[in-house]
C-alpha cells in the first residue's frame, strides 16, 4: 500500500510541476501581452479606452494564473505519504488560494481604480498632435466646443451621460472630437440613438404584498428628441416582517 502511494505521489508531483510551469507561462504571456499592448497603442484616446475597459480584467487573469501556479507548486512540497495528508494538502492549498485570490480581487476592484484614474486623466488631457502640422492642438472649453458639436451631442452633454472633448488645430482648422463616459447614467434613445433617454418618473401601479409581487412603471423621456416610453418592472414580494415603502419619483 505504501509503495503504491509513493508511486502515485511521485507521478502526481511530476504532473504538478509541469502544471506549475504551464500556469506560470500563461501568467507571463498575459502580462507581457498587456505591456506590449500599452507600448504599441500610440493614440491617446485608444490607449485611454483600452486601459479603462480591459486593464483590470487582464491583470486579474494574469494574477489568477500565478495564484493557481503557486497553489499547484505548494502541493509538491508535502512529503508525508499517508492518504489522509494527500487530501489535507489539497484542502489547505485550495483554501489559501481562495484567500489570496480574494485579497487581490478586492485590491483590483477597490484600490487599483484610483491609480488607473490618475493615468486616465493624464492621457485624456495630454495635448494631441495635429496630423496636418505635427504641432500640439488646443483643447476647447465647454463654451467653445459647442460650435463643433451637433444638437444631439450637446443634449448628451447636458444630461451628463456623455462628455465630449474637442481638439482643434488652430493653424489648419483640423478638428478631433473624442467621446467619454459622462457622470450620470442615461440610456440610448430608440428613436434618435443618442444617449439622452432618462427616467423622468417612477410610479407604483401595484403594491407588493406577502402573497404577490408588485409592479413599478418607469417613464422615460429623451432630452434631445422628446421621445417617450414606459417600462414595467417587478417588485419583490414582501416578507412577513416587511412593510410597504414609498418610492420617490426621480
**The three three-digit cell numbers of residue 63, written as one number:** 494574477
Task: List the chain pLDDT tens, one digit each, 250 residues.
Answer: 466 666 677 777 888 889 999 999 999 999 999 999 999 999 999 999 999 999 999 999 999 999 999 999 988 876 666 677 778 888 888 999 999 999 999 999 888 988 998 999 999 999 999 999 999 999 998 888 888 888 888 877 776 778 899 999 989 999 999 999 876 567 788 988 887 888 888 787 887 787 888 887 888 898 888 899 998 887 766 655 444 434 343 3
**The three three-digit cell numbers of residue 30, written as one number:** 498575459
Distance separating alpha carbons of residues 17 and 74, to the nearest angstrom: 10
Neighbours of 59 (CB within 10 A): 17
**Checking phi first, is residue 71 left (phi over 0); if not, alpha (psi -120 to 50) or beta?**
alpha
Domains of the chain, by residue range, sit at 2-125, 138-181, 186-250
Read off the pTM.
0.69
Instruction: Output the pLDDT for position 246.
Output: 41
Helix (H) or strand (E) holding 204: strand 197-206
Amino acid at each position: 500500500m505504501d509503495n503504491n502511494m509513493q508511486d502515485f505521489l511521485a507521478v502526481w508531483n511530476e504532473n504538478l510541476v509541469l502544471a506549475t510551469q504551464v500556469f506560470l507561462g500563461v501568467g507571463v504571456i498575459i502580462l507581457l501581452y498587456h505591456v506590449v499592448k500599452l507600448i504599441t497603442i500610440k493614440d491617446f484616446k485608444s490607449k485611454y479606452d483600452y486601459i479603462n475597459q480591459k486593464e483590470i480584467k487582464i491583470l486579474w487573469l494574469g494574477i489568477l494564473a500565478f495564484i493557481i501556479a503557486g497553489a499547484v507548486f505548494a502541493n509538491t512540497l508535502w512529503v508525508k505519504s499517508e492518504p489522509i495528508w494527500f487530501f489535507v494538502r489539497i484542502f489547505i492549498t485550495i483554501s489559501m488560494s481562495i484567500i489570496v485570490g480574494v485579497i487581490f480581487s478586492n485590491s483590483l476592484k477597490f484600490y487599483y481604480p484610483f491609480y488607473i484614474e490618475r493615468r486616465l486623466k493624464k492621457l485624456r488631457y495630454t495635448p494631441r498632435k495635429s496630423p496636418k502640422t505635427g504641432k500640439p492642438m488646443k483643447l476647447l472649453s465647454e463654451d467653445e466646443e459647442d460650435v463643433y458639436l451637433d444638437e444631439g451631442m450637446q443634449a448628451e452633454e447636458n444630461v451628463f451621460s456623455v462628455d465630449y472633448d474637442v481638439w482643434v488645430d488652430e493653424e489648419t482648422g483640423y478638428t478631433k472630437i473624442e467621446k467619454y463616459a459622462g457622470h450620470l447614467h442615461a440610456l440610448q434613445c430608440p428613436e434618435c440613438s443618442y444617449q439622452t433617454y432618462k427616467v423622468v418618473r417612477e410610479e407604483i401601479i401595484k403594491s407588493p404584498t406577502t402573497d404577490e409581487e408588485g409592479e413599478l412603471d418607469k417613464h422615460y423621456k429623451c432630452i434631445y428628441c422628446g421621445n417617450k416610453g414606459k417600462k414595467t418592472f417587478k417588485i419583490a414580494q414582501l416578507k412577513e416582517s416587511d412593510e410597504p415603502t414609498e418610492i420617490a419619483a426621480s
